Amino acid sequence: MSEPSELSRRSPLRGIGTLAANAVRRSSWVARYLAEAPSRWLGRRSTVGQDLAGGADGLAYLRGLVRGNRVRRQAAFDAPPTGSPPVLLIHGFLGTRGSMYMLERRMVEDGFVVVSFNIGTLNVRDIRRSAFMIHRKIERVLAQTPWEKIDIVGHSMGGLIGLYYAKKLGGHTRVRKLVMMGTPVHGTWVALAGIATLGLWSTSSWQLLPRSRFLDELAQGPLPHGVEIHSLSAARDWVVPLRRTRLPGATVNTVPLGHSSLVVSEDVYRRLSGILRPPTLAP
């Protein structure tokens, strides 16, 4: 008698069972996909969630902006050095000290010593002049404090002011860390809006254009020796696109948010705090 064929040895029921198991696996995958869809499409990390967060951050930024340059609190410079030096906040183009209010409040609550200077409500002057103002005021502050250096956090054009100070005005001897948040180191075409509205009154608008004389001057030479430079940029930034914030030699951090979120978002603040005051490793 001949041996049964391979096909005859296979049980029809076994084939049906395999098909059923595959169907169950597919259906469970579909069920998981549908169950996770709301968080994937509308969660905090989703595109829609990030857009909504960016809109809320923009409103919070505007509320701070209208606070203007008034500062009620004075930094406690008489306190002995703790672990990190004072932090100077520099706002951007058309910004005010108030536009950095939420960031400053979080930092103060965490024990940072924070300072800021009134460099003009619109801050439309030559960026070099603003950097020189920062230079003089930093010297005045450090002369009255036990610290020898300062950290700088500059938002947007404020980062250019800090970088010019550290690189061109001898600030590398006074700056420990420089954090540039959404800073147009390669310029931004959004500056055309400033030129269209303010024209000849806004020197800084022209300096913010790509390939401006100012940016070419700032790019010349190596980064300042002894200064730890960080670039904290937003992937969904339409004011200063991500590629225009890249500074060779700087440590890069990217968040999936927008321009105003850099000084408003709590998630961004946690990253900034980790840069300025990194956690100590247990022995």
**pLDDT by residue (tens digit) across 268-278?**
999 999 999 88
CA distances 225 to 86, 187, 277, Å, are 20, 24, 20
Query: What superfamily would CATH give domain 49-276?
Result: Alpha/Beta hydrolase fold, catalytic domain (3.40.50.1820)
Question: What is the structure's pLDDT at 7?
Answer: 44
Residue listed under structure tokens 């840069």:
275
Question: What is the structure's pLDDT at 22?
Answer: 60
- 240 pLDDT exceeds 60? yes
Run of H or E including 24: helix 12-42
% residues pLDDT > 90 (the chain):
51
Question: What is the structure's pLDDT at 161?
Answer: 97
d(CA 233, CA 251): 11
Question: What is the structure's pLDDT at 71?
Answer: 54
The pTM score is 0.76
